[in-house]
Amino acid sequence: GISVEKILLTHGHLDHAAGLSEALEMFGGKAFVPAGDASLVRSPDSGLRQLMGSEFSGTDDFSAVSDGDRLTAGAMEISVIATPGHTPGSVCYLVTSGSQKVLISGDTLFAGSVGRTDLPGGDPDELDRSIARLAELSDDLPVFPGHGPETDIGTERARNPFWPGETGRKGK
């Protein structure tokens, strides 16, 4: 069987946080939320709750994580990488187990796109800097976004129109 040790939120938007209380009740373990988005999880915006049809009223049953923090779960080491832009506190998690690594990117990086910045707290310039930070990672690193198919850093470097460089949206 599987034992859940940790529940990791990459950001505080309702489509990621709304089931947190139920997940903790069902699976146990401990929840981790980016420090910069902790207020979104504690007290979700009532307008956004209505818009998304969510009854989630918030929880404070979590620990906050920040850039550079390291967690462990079984044989896995989890490094927190701050990637603000989609939300002020967005993070990615670099998960390492032996020689294997994966990036859990949440809504920062998708296959062929990046997270939207038009919701409250979004900042396109911050997101550009965050994507540039992810560009330092290895091409063969698998990426598991919060929505859509998996990808890898090399594929995004070659094809993502929002990637920094000559093909990026700002032609940096």
CATH code: domain of residue 128: 3.60.15.10
* pLDDT of amino acid 172: 38
Alpha-carbon 148 to chain mean position: 13
Question: Is the pLDDT reported for residue 32 higher than 70?
Answer: yes
pLDDT range class, residue 159, cuts 50, 70, 90: very high
**Quick one: which of 93, 99, 168 has its CA closest to 132?**
168
In angstroms, the first-to-last Cα distance of the chain is 48
* pLDDT of amino acid 83: 99
In whole angstroms, give the CA distance from residue 127 to residue 92. Answer: 12
Q: How many CB atoms lie within 10 A of CB 152?
A: 18
* Percentage, residues of the chain above pLDDT 70: 88
In whole angstroms, give the CA distance from residue 30 to residue 61. Answer: 8
Residue 105 belongs to some domain of the structure = yes
pTM of the model: 0.91
Hey, CA dihedral for 62, 57, 87, 110, is it positive or negative?
A: positive
- pLDDT tens digits along 42-82: 887 754 555 555 666 678 989 999 999 999 999 999 999 99
Calculate the alpha carbon distances from 135 to 57, 59, 68, 164 in Å.
Answer: 36, 34, 17, 8
Residue 172 belongs to some domain of the structure = no
Q: Range of 117's domain? A: 6-159
Question: Is the pLDDT reported for residue 35 higher than 90?
Answer: yes
Tokens 């460089």 appear where?
165
Question: Is the pLDDT reported for residue 166 higher than 60?
Answer: no
Q: Count structural domains, the chain.
A: 1
Q: Which residues contact 58 (CB under 8 A, 6 or more apart)?
A: 41, 42, 43, 44
Question: Is the pLDDT reported for residue 171 higher than 50?
Answer: no
Residue 47 belongs to some domain of the structure = yes
Residue 68 belongs to some domain of the structure = yes
Residue 170 belongs to some domain of the structure = no
- pLDDT tens digits along 81-140: 999 999 999 999 999 999 999 999 999 999 999 999 998 899 999 999 999 999 999 999
Residue 166 belongs to some domain of the structure = no
